[in-house]
Chains A and B, each alone.
Chain A
Amino acid sequence: MHQSDKHSLGDIELFPVSITKKEYLGEDAYVLYFKKTFDFTPGQIIAISMTKDEPPRLYSISSSPKENEIAILFKVNHSGFLTPRLANLNKNDQMMVSKAFGSFYGTKNADYWIAAGTGIAPFISMQKFDLARNKTLIHGGREENSFYFSNLFQNTDGLKYIPCSSIMDKPPFYKGRLTEYLKNEDIDVNKSFFVCGKSEMVVQVRDILINRGVDYDQIIAEIYF
């Protein structure tokens, strides 16, 4: 048996928090907020469950360490185990969370950020922590309202924001998937590429970048497990 018998994720225990706010972004996407009681670094994740007896799921924090609340961006998967219940939470309801962990840390360098869907979450945290200057953010989505927090990025000084959609045919959108952008447009292969999203997207992006001459050392991936 384990010497430690606590219910934990690794060394990190789950504990209850109360929801302070729920924000609906459209297209089944929400942001849940709860009071910040622990420190974290932008890019880190937390584990979430509804009760201490069920397996938690992992979510990137989308708020800044400078804020008083911790925010979690998620999209409802209607056949999923957790997100339909998270979407039903309201102010003062409780959920279980862990402290922050993981090491998908942003830098102050002129990196590329690449995200699709809710994979944008760690970059929201990094932007709010003043790490967006000199970055190029390539953001994949479909309909206009699936580009979560696009206003935030469009109005960030020093950030080049490239929303990519195969169906949007108007500025500022690049017409085509983000994988097409990466295949066909100019990219600086000597920079670092931070990629966040589902495994299919991350693997495809990584293959394209390697094919274009980016050293795999320079590709830092966060996959939504």
Chain B
Amino acid sequence: MIKENLFGKTKEELQAIALELGLPKFNGSQWAEWMYKNNADSLEDMHNVSKKAKALIAEKYTIEKSKFSSVQESVDGTKKYLFHIRGEHFIEAAYIPDKDRATLCVSSQVGCKMGCLFCMTGKQGFQVNLSTGEILNQIYSLPEFDKLTNVVYMGMGEPFDNLNHVLKSIEILTADYGMAWSSKRITVSTIGIIPGMKTFLDKSKAHLAISLHSPFEEERKKIMPIENVFRLPQLINEIKSFEFGRQRRVSFEYIMFKDFNDTKKHVDQIARILNGINCRINLIRFHPIPGTPLLGSDEATIIKFQNELKKKGIVTTLRASRGEDIYAACGLLSTKELIKRKEEEDF
């Protein structure tokens, strides 16, 4: 019999399992604290759980976390961890230390359905959604776990296409029974799955990042097929209708593509559509992926673009490129592994 993994279940789910096993409900709360607060790796680590209870649990359940299968380290300290999932898939998590912060970029899916023209992960197509445990495992099994200050859901996959597991993982990160992190330490990035975004905004307090990449609908459609489904004006309207409050941040990610989205016309339109939204823009340098027709804007254009946006009163940051020497851009490493494996299969 395949045993079900307890790691990744919320306190409420664990309490239900306790009751199902004929144990007191509070046992579920104990297990949650052992796994998520104390990072217990097995039932044996749960010292205040009785032997009898452990035996009952072990009949049907297990606690399983998996170690990364490989790691690459950049000269700038960025580390790219590769995890094997369910024996046949690969996901990536990027650890990015920076002065007083240490951020982990986690994946939410193996592959991605969104097919953005500039994305390496999209070239894998979609394989599977990660479970809550598989999302959390990237965090809990990290050698630098104790140093982490922030988590961003910006790795492989579209988080709002796997909303329930992403929300449950955020619950465990922020709950008293879990890591008890402030929601302000967590950012979830989306390309604009509007229904999922609305649910996320209502059910979580974590920050939101939106992949904008063009302020023009027709132009955005050329590089992001999602625009054919959830249109930019509707997305912006939804953001404008939500009361973010003072603690919660919405930001827009903007990859700079040469001669595509880096002109004064784009600055003006960004200012127009974001008018009334208290937000920031993160400009990102583009490092071409194999086979893409897009090129990155040059440094002078990027700086000029940033300054023009600032003049419009928009808080604009330029994200430092990290881990370039280890293919830290999302999807590159795992796609290489996938291709390698497929080539091996073909022979």
Contact = CB atoms under 8 A, between A and B. Distances in A.
- Chains A and B come from one and the same complex: yes
A207 B222 contact: no
Interface stretch (B175-183, B229-237, B318-326): B229-237
Contacts of B243: 1, 3
A1 B243 CA distance: 7
Contacts of B227: 103
Question: Binding site of B, secondary structure by majority: helix, strand, loop or mixed?
Answer: helix
B115 A55 contact: no
Nearest to A55: B195
A221 B291 contact: no
B238 A10 contact: yes
Given A58-B229, A225-B229, A203 B122 contact: yes
Nearest to A198: B125
Contacts of A47: 195
B195 A10 contact: yes
B311 interface: no
Given A10-B230, A103-B228, A222-B228, A203 B238 contact: no
B284 to A, nearest CB: 19
A129 interface: no
Contacts of B222: 216-217, 219
B293 interface: yes
Given A45-B229, A102-B229, A225-B229, A220 B221 contact: yes
B234 A11 contact: yes
Contacts of B11: none
Interface string A1-33: 111100011110000000000000000000000
Given A10-B194, A103-B227, A223 B114 contact: yes
A151 B238 CA distance: 43
B242 A104 contact: no
Contacts of B123: 203, 207
- Indicate the member of B123, B193, B201 with the most A CB atoms within 10 Å: B123
Contacts of A58: 229
B198 interface: yes
- Shortest beta-carbon contacts, A-B, top 9: A200-B125, A221-B225, A199-B113, A10-B194, A104-B228, A199-B115, A223-B225, A223-B115, A199-B125
Interface of A: 1-4, 8-11, 45, 47, 55-56, 58, 101-104, 198-200, 202-203, 206-207, 210-211, 215-217, 219-225
